Each structure stands twice: as structure tokens, then as C-alpha cells.
Structure 1
Amino acid sequence: MMDNVTVITMLTLSGLNGTANYRVTLFAVTVLCYCVILLVNVTIIATIIGDKSLHEPMYIFLCNLCINGLYGTAGFYPKFLHDLLSSTQVISHAGCLLQGFVLHSSATADFSILALMAYDRYVAICRPLVYHSVMTKQRISLFVFFAWFVPFNLLFMSTITSISRLCGSTIPKIYCVNWLVNNLACSTSVATIIIPAFNYTFYIGHACFVVWTYIYMIKTCLKSRENMTRFMQTCMPHVFAVAIFTVCLYFDLLYMRFGSRDLSQNVQNFMAMEFLLIPPITNPLIYGFKLTKIRKRILHLICGK
């Protein structure tokens, strides 16, 4: 005999409660930000793809970073903009899992690509004589493949474990997160604890690797003025990109799990949006202004000189 239970198929995103008075303004600002994200990322991608002189490892990884920025923000902004103009902010259980997968996989792919960029700079500065034999086209293709495949595979397994019967229907956020969906489940499994814990550990390892490579590079560059100049020109954008992304993401993750709910909803929403707003805008701008080849190419396309 079947239990007389209600199957929850629609979830409510409660992050926009209390914003009814200024949703039109918030909608206009969000549209502007999303247009800027599209413009700066597409500009960098098109510049790198269209200029054969930029088909080098550092620029190929940067191109993938910008593509990932577009992928991740596409999982958030269209739905968020729709919610701003809707009287109710609801999403299907399947749609919630899909959005969570896109946002999580984009964040982890960012870590993978940033780690690759750190490795590329490490080889270029600390082992310049073997750079071209290490960073071959075949190896770069393999690196890029795994930078996308591993995050997608890990997050797919994490999302699959979130498919269970729900006993709640309210997500206290402006977008879906697997951890919050799991909190609504009627029962928990070992997989919902072990797989996310493994994912966090795996990508904390990425962050530690990036930190180690830059400490090693700085020590190496201090011995040579030429290397230090090269480090400042090609590595500082990456340092800023890693720092901004890591701070934005981990601050939201830590607050979501351990933070006080005494903060206003607007502050909570801003913290939730940080990694979907700041890195996708600042990464292309930092690299576009700092890397000479890209800056000159963009200025040539704009000014015709």
C-alpha cells in the first residue's frame, strides 16, 4: 500500500522577499551588469580566437576562463531577471538541480582553469628552457579537456545524489545550491556528505597548488630583475583573478553554512551574487588592460590603427 504523501515538484526561491518596492531598479541594474559581462567576455574570446598570434597557452587558458564566465552567468542571470519581474519566484525540482549543476560546475571549472594558468606561468618563468617542449599543443588540449571534464563529472555525481524525495519547498537564496536542496530532503545518505566533502577537498587542493606555484615563482623572480618584470607583466593579472574569485566564492560558501541570519536580505543577496558578478567582469578587464598583446589588438580593432 502506497503512503499518502505529497510529491514536491516546485520549489520557492525566497531570496527576493522584501524587494518588491525596487525590483524595477534592480532589474535595470542587473541587465546593465549582465550586458557588461557579455560584452567584455565576448570581446576577449573573439580577440583571442581571431588573432593567430594569441594562440599561445596563456591566452588559450584565458579564452576558456572567459567562456566559463559566460557559461556560469547564463545559469543565473536569465532566471534571476525573470524572477525580478514575476510575482512569485518558483523553480521546478529538476530546474533547481540543473541550475545548481551549472553554477557549481562553473565555479569548479574556474578553479581548474586558474590552476592551469598558474602552472603555465610556473613553467614559463621557472623552467623557460623546456617551456615549449612541456606546453605542446597536444598537452594543452589535454589540459583544457580535463579542466572541463573533471568538474562536470564531479558535479554530475554530486547532483545525482541530490535527487531524492523532498519534505520542504523553500530555498532561502536567489538561486539553487545543491547543499540547500539536500537540506530539504526527507532523508540523508552517506553520498550526500562524502561526495561534496571530496569536491571541497579536491578544489582546496587546487587553491593550495596555485598559492605554492606563486610563492615559488616569487622566490625565483627575486633573483632576476628581468624575471621580476616578466612576473609583474604576465602574472599579476592572474594573482588578482585568483584572489578575487577565491574571496568571493569562499565568503559566500562560509556564510551560507555558518553565517548569521541577522544580516539584511539585501546584504545576503549581494554576497550570493559576488562570484557571479565581480570575477566575470574583472577577469576580462584585468587581462585586457594588463596583457600588452590583447590590449594592443583590442585598441587596433576599436581605433583601426
Structure 2
Amino acid sequence: MDQVIAQKKSVLVGYDFEASGTMIHRGVYSAVCAPLLKEPQLLGVIYLEDPLPGKFGEEELVILTLFANQVATALENASLNEHLQKELKIRSNLERFLSPQVADLVTKDCLDKGDILLATERRTVTILFSDIKGFTLLSERLDHQEVAELVTRHFSLMTDVIFSFQGTLDKYLGDGLVAIFGAPIPHADHAVRAIQAGLEMHARHKDFTAAFPPDKRFAIRIGINTGEVVAGYMGSPKRMEYTVLGEAVIIAHRLQALAEPGTIYLGRATQEAARHRFSPAFVKKMETPKGRKEIEIFKLAG
């Protein structure tokens, strides 16, 4: 067997060859062994032995070698199928919050490096919050089924926009959503991408509601902020979601709550990162969540 492993070739013992002392001591006078080989990897060996001398010959050696080749092929196919199933499962999970193109990149990275996405990391990203202004009144005016259909169509449009700028859909929050730009795939221009997405979201929403009767029309408002967060998969082992945590997220949510319908409110860090592309108007100052300092708020019309 050691010879088969070392040379990766089939071996016959006990016909035209002498059995080793160890084999004779075990009462084995005839043996044949073939490698399970898929170049350059040795997957294993198949070994047969018998106490009678000359039990195996060249014919048995050929048959066992052919059989070993078939087994090796079957093992490789099983491994490929397992790899494919794992890839499909990863991609299916990722496509819930990533565009198909980004999901492919992250899936490949995950398969190459293992479950790398399970680790959390600190990184600077841009967070976008969006919600429907006056959603409660809209729900009171319309049938619940109508509201559900409107919100579903609205989310579908907004998600398409986010994906088109390679953003990550963090979660839906009732009548709103959260998106991340710059994670898990980093982009140096994540602040610009977030603002572009926000402007396009407003444009697509206006087109979407233009033909609606007055009682079905609604506006959206958007808050965008840039800062350091902890990013990664979080939750229980039974349900993990990719998300971000940190003060920058809380600020983005507050900006969205302050924003006027049809506008985008930006934090100072976002405005600084994208000032070469956009010229938002200063609105006012707002205290940070921990009250340690004030940040400036800027506005863009949608």
C-alpha cells in the first residue's frame, strides 16, 4: 500500500512478485492495490488480499485499476456537486440583499477563503435610510391589500436602484428601508454612490406615482450619512443577516426622520466626501446620539 501511495500506481503482490515479510506474518500471500487518483490528487486506495498464493493476477490488476478510476471519478463528481450546492446556497442568501453581480463576487470570495463573511470588521461606509412620509394616513385611506401592493412595488423599484449603484440592501423597516454603500464590497466613492442612488430613488418614485389618483400618492424622504461601523453577519446561528452597527447608522436614521418629503438630508461626512460632485445646501446643526458634539446637516432636492 505504501508503494501505491508513493508511486500513485497499481501494485500486484503474490503472483510474479514475492510477498513482504509483514504480509506473510499476517497470513497474506496475495494482494492487489490500486490508487483512487484524480491528478494530481490521491483520493485513496482500494486494497484486496487473500491467504492463497497467486490468487490475483494481471487480469485482476487491470479490472481493479479500471474500477478504482470509476470510483475516483464518482468521488470527484460528488465533491463537485457538494461544492455547487454550497455555492448555490451562498449565492441564494446573498442575492436577497446584493445585486447579482456583487453576489457573484462575494460568493467566489467566500468559497475561496472559507466563511470569511461570518467575521465582523470595522470599516467606513455610507448608510442610506428611506421611508414613506405619511404612511399611517395612507394606510387609513386605502384598503390594506392596496397598501401592501403599493409598498411592494415601491420597494421593488427602490431595491433595483440600490443594486444599480452596487449598494447592499440591509433590511426593510415597515414602510422604509436601509441600504449600505461600501460593504461588503468596498468602493472608494461609496458616498457618491449613495447620493446618486438617493437622487435616482426620488426620480423613479415620482415616475411611479405620477399617474396615481391623489388619494394614492405618497412622498419619500431620505437620510444619508458616512462613518465608521462594525459590518458583518449578525444574528442567531439559525438566521444570520448582513448588517452594520454604529453611531453613523443612528445619525443616518435621524437625518431621514428630519428630511422633508422629496429631499435628501446629508451628514457632514457625506457632504465632505462628495463635495466634488454635489453642492447641497446647509440646513442646520444636530446633536450626535451621545450628545458629545453637533454635526451639520445638508440638503439636496430629490
Q: Which TM-score bucket, shorter chain as reference? A: under 0.3
The structure in which a higher percent of residues are strand is: 2
The structure in which a higher percent of residues are helix is: 1
TM-score, normalised to structure 1, is: 0.23
Larger Rg: 2
TM-score, normalised to structure 2, is: 0.23
